[in-house]
């Protein structure tokens, strides 16, 4: 039997896990839920003084990114979200949907699985 894949974005881990539980009833081949983000790293967990602190880039300070080199941090600082003045609008429908459900299903239940994901709040 042929297999199909599903990539769906969710606003919370609970939504994604709820969809995963319902998909298990359809006997998915493989599935996982991961937290994803636009920038690498876990963020900073302490307060930095931007005047006298030693931080690698504005991207690190405002986005909490853990960048591989200085150039990547500088490039991330060019993002509108680094200033804190972004309203979060725009063309990106995945904003705020940091949980990715990835599933592999049999072709015969693919449409049913897509319907389950949508009913659980997933964005395909």
Which tokens is 88 given?
């979060």
111 vs 16: CA distance, rounded Å: 18
What pLDDT score was predicted for residue 74? 75
Helix (H) or strand (E) holding 106: strand 99-106
Same domain assignment for residues 10 and 56: no
**Cβ contacts of 77 within 8 Å, gap of 6 or more:** 57, 58, 59, 62, 63
What pLDDT score was predicted for residue 94? 64
Confidence of residue 60 (pLDDT cuts 50, 70, 90): low
Same domain assignment for residues 32 and 45: no
Mean per-residue pLDDT of the chain: 80
Same domain assignment for residues 76 and 108: no
Same domain assignment for residues 57 and 22: no
Confidence of residue 66 (pLDDT cuts 50, 70, 90): confident
Same domain assignment for residues 72 and 115: no
Is the pLDDT score of 89 beyond 60? no
Residues in a beta bridge with 3 = 106
Same domain assignment for residues 47 and 85: yes
Work out how many domains the chain is built from and give that number.
Answer: 2
Tens of pLDDT, residue by residue over 7-47, are: 999 999 999 999 999 999 988 889 999 988 766 665 555 56
- Nearest Cα to Cα of residue 103 among 18, 33, 35, 1: 33
Q: What is the mean pLDDT of residues 94-104?
A: 86
Same domain assignment for residues 56 and 90: yes
Same domain assignment for residues 46 and 88: yes
The domain in which residue 28 lies consists of 1-36+98-124
């Amino acid at each position: 039997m042929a297999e199909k894949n599903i990539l769906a974005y969710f606003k919370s881990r609970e939504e994604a896990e709820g969809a995963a539980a319902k998909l298990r009833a359809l006997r998915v081949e493989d599935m996982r839920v991961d937290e994803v983000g636009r920038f690498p790293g876990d963020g900073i967990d302490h307060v930095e003084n931007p005047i006298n602190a030693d931080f690698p880039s504005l991207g690190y300070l405002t986005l909490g990114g853990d960048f591989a080199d200085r150039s990547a941090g500088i490039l991330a600082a060019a993002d509108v979200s680094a200033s804190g003045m972004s309203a979060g609008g725009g063309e990106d429908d995945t904003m705020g949907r940091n949980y990715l459900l990835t599933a592999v299903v049999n072709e015969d239940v693919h449409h049913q699985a897509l319907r389950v994901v949508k009913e659980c709040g997933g964005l395909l």
